[in-house]
Chain A
Amino acid sequence: MSMPISAVPATVDQPGQQPGSTGAGRSRAPGTRVLARMGQAVRSNRKATVGTALLALFVLVSLFPGVIAHDNPGADAYAPRLGLTTAHLLGTTAQGQDMFAQLVWGTRTVMIIAFVVGLAATGIAVLIGVAAAYLGGLWDGSLSVLTDVLLVIPLFPLLIIIAGYAHGASTLVLIVVITLTSWSYTARQLRSQALSLRGRDFLEAARVRGERRLYIIVVELIPTMTSLIVAAFLTNALYAVLFASSLQYIGLGNPNTQSWGTMLYWAQNEAALQTGQPMWALAPGACIAALGASFALLNYAFDEIGNPALRPVRRTRGKPAR
């Protein structure tokens, strides 16, 4: 009925499991219908519900941080290293800043990184993946090799040395560098699916109608891939958050930025764990994990929806298969 989405690593290009082979393309599913189905899935699939709720929460916090936290996250306004109180829900840093305010205001930077990198990297992935599949021949050969090479070069060490040469990276540099290096995994998935759709009737029909290539790709081909593109966005956003936070944590970001990774950097610097201020490190880490989990849960839920075999087996079906 619907399309399988290979979002879990290592299930790409499995023999015998061709993405997009189950027929959604045949009926010319427009993007809006896929999105509507996703909306329905969010309501019916528990993983998707939790993922959406978490994501919505973070989006809200990042849009209106001032409503929740009244302190200026950068101001050294209080006594340093205060414990948890009602005035300072997470205590204060060694610099006398309110940690809760830092956590709340830091959400905005993280969300910007997640969404900008997610969109930009997915854009590149769609461009390269679809172009490779649709244009074929030498184009496919060279773009695929480029994708595969980038796919196997260990990204995080690469990001570390780039940030090293750049002497630490501002949020903008982080966004650009992560975008340019992290699109390959999703591009490969998109290429596989586009490849399987290439010979389909509705594309043939468009060609016979005399539509231009660009029109066919943008209007006919890409909408049928909407759910995979959404999955690609989720994957890219997840890795953007993890990579950016990790780089900031090890001190390769700008230490004056308000961000979860920067909080972790200061917590590490000030030995928060060893000096009785574990929340300084635990809270931003938990937020990264929760935001990451919301992306991962949504991704997995869509995967389940797309591939009914993976769905949890309900007890009503009787005894497990034997």
Chain B
Amino acid sequence: MRRFGRIGLVIAASLLAASCSAGSGSTTATKGVVTISNENGALWTCDFSPFNGSDTLLSVGFVYEPLVYVNPLQNGKTTPMLATSWTWGAGDKSITFTIRKNVKFSDGSALTPADVVYTFNLLKKYAALDLTGVWSVLSSVTQTSSDQVTMAFKTAAVPYFYYIADETPIVPEHIWSKIANPVTYPDTNPVGTGPYEVNPCAKANITYTANPHYWQPGEPHIAKVEYPAYTSNTTANDQLQNGQAQWGSQYIPGIKPFYTAKSSNFHYWFPPTVNVSLVPNLKNSLLSNVKVRQAMSYAIDRSKVSTIGESGYEPPANQAGIVTPTFSSWLDSSQLASDGGYAYNPAKAKQLLASAGFKMGSDGVMANAQGQKLAFTVINIGDYSDWVASMQVITQDLQAVGIALTPANLTNTDFDADLYYGKYQLAYYDQQTFGPAPYYELRNWLDSADTAPIGSVAATNYERYSNPATDSLINQYAATTSTAMQHSIVDQLQQVMLTDVPIIPVVEAVDWYQYDTANITGWPTPGNPYAQPSAFAYPDMEQVLLHLKPR
């Protein structure tokens, strides 16, 4: 009995000590350290290959750098990085980069144009490493002078500048040329020109420390970046809420009471990037009817989807397909307005359906003369609770005009399979990539080169839209560096979106981003959107890290 008492006392004492230290230890962070809170869903593998899709966000921007930084949030505004300047060649079919001098890799050796040539030819040799498909348009990459690299294209490929200059990390030849199989190379000890080195990596946390050889004088100001592996959203948000992490990059439910109300230093900004759309299968006999699609677009109360389904975080989209305010300068608002803007209008929706020969049935569902009912199954990703909630709103909206939706909440795997192979009626989805102009998203949805017959995998044009006139517009854009010309083409693509309604944009997906200004300044803000602000956006996070300063 007595022995038990002793043990009990010891446990009680240590519990007390622990709870006290927990109370005091959980407050502010050390100066000059930024802790990132970005839920990864798994522990780190400590692999840093810049050409492995699941590791890029941990290496590109921290350790590896691109030639040029292209800011998608400022219409592709460029910042020279490893290239100091570039010029387009004749007919926009080649480009020459001048490579920066006095840049060193973190092992102390110098960066040369040969490293750039080596990197691009590495992607040519191992297609698996070519994540953005630059060699689908490149024909050669060669060193043309002591500090210049020239790239030749098979066809005019102006939009590919983004992938070549911004999305391709440059690796040191003296290390990568000795690797037997670069495809499976884990790159556990990455050597690059970027501002940070991995030092060290553990399954639960990666610590990045400043690269002493970094080429920008005085940078980086933040001596250390901690990147813990959060397996759940709740834990990651919890760390933001108590100030243990300063840079957040995920969904926080009820962000005002949860986060910003906790401290005046806590802020968030969710810049929109791409449309989340109701995607009709255009091979479906009822959904191929443009009036049905137009009616759907009129029947959805996009503001309500935004406030109810997305807690107001994701703004309502427009039928023109231009994400605002990110690409507001591209929006042809007069054209959008002339069509009534597809603003919420259930009466107009019913009228359109009536004009297409649909009559309301006794069950509240419209049907045509052949008795075909406007009743569809809509596939959705069950794990995205905001999308599930959004679909409840959309279902109620469409029900009101006589279109019956049955949501099928699938797993990611099943959803992708159904979507890619075209085995669905309606889907709720967004494009997974984002570019520095609205063209990139519109091309993904509308280019017939990116589609496939039902039963085969479509690359990005899942609704199976195909129109030679639209294809030619898309190809013209690829062949011009003239801004005026580009705008005129995007205006015409908006016209396609408004008349053909190939997809129905509902809300705009955003980058999740929360930041704590207590000890750190220089964060990207709506007033100074110098980079995509999420920690998972590469190579943008390098720009953020270079702007941050301890207070």
Contacts and interface: CB of A to CB of B under 8 A. Distances in A.
Task: Classify A-B as touching or not with yes or no (CB < 8 A).
Answer: yes
Interface of A: 74-76, 80-81, 94-96, 167-168, 251, 254-256, 266, 269-271, 274-277
Task: Please indicate which of the listed interface residues B257, B308, B382, B392 has the most CB atoms of chain A within 10 Å of its own CB.
Answer: B308
A271 B388 contact: no
What interface size band does chain B fall in? 20 to 34
Given A94-B253, A168-B382, A76 B258 contact: no
- Of A74, A254, A270, which is in contact with the most chain B CB atoms at under 10 Å from its CB? A270
B231 interface: no
A271 B396 contact: no
Contacts of B304: 76
B302 to A, nearest CB: 14
Contacts of A275: 253-254, 257-258
A75 B253 contact: no
Nearest to A275: B254
B253 A271 contact: yes
B308 A96 contact: yes
B393 interface: yes
Given A255-B409, A276-B254, 8 more contacts: A75-B396, A167-B410, A256-B409, A269-B253, A271-B254, A274-B257, A275-B253, A275-B254
Nearest to B252: A271
Q: Which 6 A-B pairs have the closest CB atoms?
A: A275-B254, A270-B253, A275-B257, A271-B253, A269-B385, A76-B308
Contacts of B383: 251
A209 to B, nearest CB: 59
Given A167-B410, A275-B258, A80 B253 contact: no
Nearest to A81: B254
A255 B388 contact: yes
A181 B238 CA distance: 37
B476 interface: no
Contacts of A75: 396
B392 A274 contact: no
A269 B234 CA distance: 9
22 contacts: A74-B392, A75-B396, A76-B304, A76-B393, A76-B396, A80-B311, A94-B389, A95-B308, A95-B309, A95-B393, A167-B382, A167-B414, A254-B409, A255-B388, A256-B388, A256-B407, A269-B253, A270-B253, A270-B385, A274-B241, A274-B257, A275-B257
Nearest to B256: A275
A296 B93 CA distance: 79
Interface in B383-397: 383, 385, 388-389, 392-393, 396
B18 to A, nearest CB: 23
Contacts of B396: 75-76
Contacts of B393: 76, 95
Contacts of B308: 76, 80, 95-96
B359 to A, nearest CB: 26
B257 A276 contact: yes
Contacts of B409: 168, 254-256
B392 A76 contact: yes
Interface of B: 234, 237-238, 241, 252-254, 257-258, 304, 307-309, 311, 382-383, 385, 388-389, 392-393, 396, 407, 409-411, 414
A274 B385 contact: no
A310 B237 CA distance: 49
Nearest to A76: B308
Contacts of A167: 382, 410-411, 414
A275 B311 CA distance: 13
Contacts of B241: 274
B241 to A, nearest CB: 7
Residues of B contacting A: mostly: helix
Q: In terms of DSSP, what is the predominant structure of the interface of chain A?
A: loop
Max count, chain B CB within 10 A of own CB: residue among A75, A80, A271? A271
Contacts of B385: 255, 266, 269-270
A95 B234 contact: no
B430 to A, nearest CB: 20
Contacts of A76: 304, 308, 392-393, 396
Contacts of A254: 409
A277 B257 CA distance: 10
A95 B382 contact: no
B254 A94 contact: yes
Contacts of B253: 94, 269-271, 275
A95 B393 CA distance: 9
Nearest to B411: A167
A94 B309 CA distance: 8
Contact of B389 (A95, A251, A274, A276): A95
A266 B407 CA distance: 17
A271 B234 contact: yes
Contact of B392 (A95, A251, A271, A276): A95
B365 to A, nearest CB: 18
Contacts of B411: 167
B67 to A, nearest CB: 42
A270 B254 contact: yes
A141 B485 CA distance: 85
B258 A80 contact: no
Nearest to A269: B385
Contacts of B311: 80, 94
Nearest to A79: B307
A136 B393 CA distance: 59
A94 B311 CA distance: 7
B250 to A, nearest CB: 12
Contact of B258 (A96, A266, A271): A271
Contacts of A168: 382, 409
B253 to A, nearest CB: 4
A275 B257 CA distance: 5
Nearest to A255: B388
A275 B392 CA distance: 23
A33 B253 CA distance: 56
Contacts of A276: 254, 257
A256 to B, nearest CB: 7
Contacts of B392: 74, 76, 95, 256
Contacts of A266: 385
A167 B381 CA distance: 12
Nearest to A80: B308
Contacts of A271: 234, 237, 252-254, 258
Contacts of B388: 255-256
Contacts of A96: 307-308
Contacts of B389: 94-95
A80 B257 contact: no
Contacts of A95: 308-309, 389, 392-393
A256 B407 CA distance: 9
A271 B258 CA distance: 8
Of residues B385, B396, B414, which shows the largest number of chain A Cβ atoms within 10 Å of its Cβ? B385
Contacts of B382: 167-168, 255
A167 to B, nearest CB: 5
A251 to B, nearest CB: 8
A168 B383 CA distance: 11
Contacts of A251: 383
B392 to A, nearest CB: 6
A168 B407 CA distance: 14
B307 A80 contact: yes
A94 B306 CA distance: 12
A273 to B, nearest CB: 10
A274 B235 CA distance: 12
A256 B410 CA distance: 13
Nearest to B262: A274
A73 to B, nearest CB: 11
Nearest to A94: B311
Contacts of A274: 237-238, 241, 254, 257-258
